[in-house]
Each structure stands twice: as structure tokens, then as C-alpha cells.
Amino acid sequence: MVNRDRLVNEFMELVRIDSETKHEREISLILRRKFGELGLDVSEDDSMAKSGHAANNLFAVLEPSGAPDAPVIFFTSHMDTVAPGRGIKPRLDEDGYIRSDGTTILGSDDKAGIAAMLEAIRVLKERKVKHGRVQFVITAGEEAGLAGARALDASKLEAEFGYALDSNGEIGAIAVAAPTQAKITIEFFGKSAHAGVNPEDGISAIQVAAKAVARMPLGRIDEETTANIGKIEGGGATNIVCDYARLEAEARSIAREKLDRQIAAMRDAVSSAAQEYNARGEFKSEIVYPAYSHDDGDPVVELAKAAIASIGCKPRTFRSGGGSDANIFNGLGVPTVNLAIGYEHIHTTNEQIRAADLAKTAELVVALIEQAASRRR
């Protein structure tokens, strides 16, 4: 069975290693050693040259034992964290939660997933559990727009399907769908003038931007679609009519046709506002990652449900509003769902995870491998 003390100690060891996104080198070397010491074949791709991060993606393969005909499955977590993630001091409190000292994040997003993988491998070996070939993929740069996964060498993927251990929520929750995201940059070019002497000769780029934003459908568009303006900048002195403004925005939807309509609506708002004020607007959008959607009866979902039930939890499916590395793996043709592993208040200094949920996640990884071994290709 899972050794909770060993698991908690290893989790705390991992979160003490500084690994804010773009600073993953140390954690990468340590993880390579840890997987190697457990007898796995460890390799990496050359993604850092493309991603701009400090480490490549890691690939660790557990060879089959007693079930060579089982489908090859994979698990993925990311090695980087958000800031503030330097000098993390984890502690296990009396209520069973693991927390930082409150000055940093904890890093359970996503080192809880990595710790659960390592513990699961130990349990498989100690219990001599029959299993098929299993691949573990640890990515860099997830917190920077899935940078590592987007640069991943797809030729190194062997699995037929797999599981991301990277969602908050109660263990048993399965994200069977997640949206595609478009990153949007909008620029407005007006005309400067003295704001007190001859403002009528100027064209305020800020005013045009405000008019355009007011015309955009934003927030919750429908159950599958959202949009947001995240940043606006421009201007300087108050006595000068601002001639330039720049906005950064996003749009998301599980349905691509809905995303296309949302982008078009935002573009039309920019165009109409610029035309009304005789200004110039430029609108650029880029798809950052694809959407994915699985039905309850799909093998990747059915196996997850069976594994969750086998460890005494209640499986439930949901459609996520956020993206993860699971989006990328699905886009590469490997069916993947994202599993909740119990962490709470991520990306804040109040982040926490129960030691019991950490142990349950390791149990779930073992159960998923066992369920896969019971099936034949």
C-alpha cells in the first residue's frame, strides 16, 4: 500500500526545490535522477531550444511486468510553478493539510502529481503488481502558456491514452473537456494634440479603445465560451491626447465555431470603433492550444471511472473552463483527460493540499495502471 509518510516527505522535498517557470533546471536534474533510481529508462527532448525554458521535457518509461499485452498508458505533470515559489517552507498542520509558511505558494500544482507518480512506482514494485508499459511525461513551462508541452517532441510519445494529474477539485473528478484558447492583441492608433489648447485636433486612442471594449461581448458568453480583456496600456501626460493604446485579451471555447464567432465579434468591435473615430485599429489573434472533448463511454474515461471507484471515490465528469497540458496531448492525437488531485487555492499563498489526498492520488495512479493491465489490446 501507499506509504503516506514516505510520500509526504518526498512531496515536501520536491516543493523545497525552487522551480518557478523558466527556472526548471535543478528540479529537472533531480527528477531525472529519481526516476532513474527507480529503474525507469529516462530521456528528454530538445524542447528548451523552442520553449525558452531552462529544461527539456522528461520522459520516463516503466517496462511491463506480467502484462505485456496491456495498452500503453501515460501520466503527465509539470515541473514548474508560479511565483512566488522561491524558498518554500512546507509544513504538515494538525488538521492534515500541507501548507507553506504563507509567504509563498506551496507548489502542489503540480508537484503533488509528480510525488504521486514516484510513490505509485514504488508501490508497484513493492507489491509486485502486474502492469503494462507505462510512460511518465514531466513537462517544463506549463505555467507559461503550456510552453514545454507546445514544444514537445511528439515522436517520443508511445501511449495509447493517458492522464494529466493537474486539476484542482475533489479526487474523482475527471475533466473530459477543456476549451481552446485564443490570445488576442489589439492596437489603436490615434492622433496626438494638446489636451487643453486644441483637443479637437486629436484622436484619443484610449477613447477609441474604450468604445471598442464597450461593444464587445465579454465574460461568460455561454456554457462553453468566455472572453476577457486582461490588460490595457497607453498614454502618458494628461495634457496630451493619447495617440496609442494596446490591449491584451483572450477568448476561449470548447467549440471551435463558437470561438471563431467570438473572435469575429471582438474584431468587428475594434473595426467599427476605429472607423467611427477616424482612427486605425489592428487586431491579431493566435490559437494557443486546441480544445478537447471526450464522451463518458470513451476508453480513457471509462478506465478512469473504474479506477476511481476501485479506491472508494465517486467518479464524476465535468467540462473545464481552463487549459492544461492535456489539451496539447489531445491535439497530438493521444486521448487524455485531466484528473482532480485535491489541491486547493492554487496560485496563491493560501495554497494547500491534504496529506490524505496526496496519498489518494498515488493510490489512483496505481489503480489506473492496474485497470489498464486488466485490459488487452
Residues noted as catalytic: 80, 142
The answer to whether 172 touches 308, Cβ cutoff 8 Å, is yes
d(Cα 28, Cα 114) in Å, to the nearest integer? Answer: 12
- Helix (H) or strand (E) holding 91, with range, is strand 91-92
Give 121-126's long-range contacts (Cβ < 8 A, gap of 24+).
121/35, 121/38, 121/40, 121/62, 122/3, 122/6, 122/38, 123/1, 123/2, 123/3, 123/362, 123/366, 124/62, 124/65, 124/366, 124/369, 125/38, 125/39
Residue entry with cell 509526504 = 8
Q: How far is CA 315 from CA 122, 293, 339, 355, in A?
A: 25, 17, 10, 20
Which residues, in sequence order, are bridge partners of residue 182? 251, 287
Interacting residues of 79 by C-beta distance below 8 A, sequence separation 6+:
19, 24, 27, 28, 31, 55, 58, 110, 111, 114, 138, 139, 140
d(Cα 258, Cα 255) in Å, to the nearest integer? Answer: 5
Q: How far is CA 200 from CA 31, 205, 230, 240, 241, in A?
A: 63, 13, 30, 12, 9
The answer to whether 2 touches 119, Cβ cutoff 8 Å, is yes
CB atoms inside a 10 Å sphere around CB 113: 28
Interacting residues of 275 by C-beta distance below 8 A, sequence separation 6+:
none
Sort 348 into a burial class: Cβ within 10 Å, 0-12 / 13-18 / 19+: exposed
Q: Angle formed by the axes of helices 108-127 and 25-37, to 10°?
A: 10
d(Cα 104, Cα 352) in Å, to the nearest integer? Answer: 11
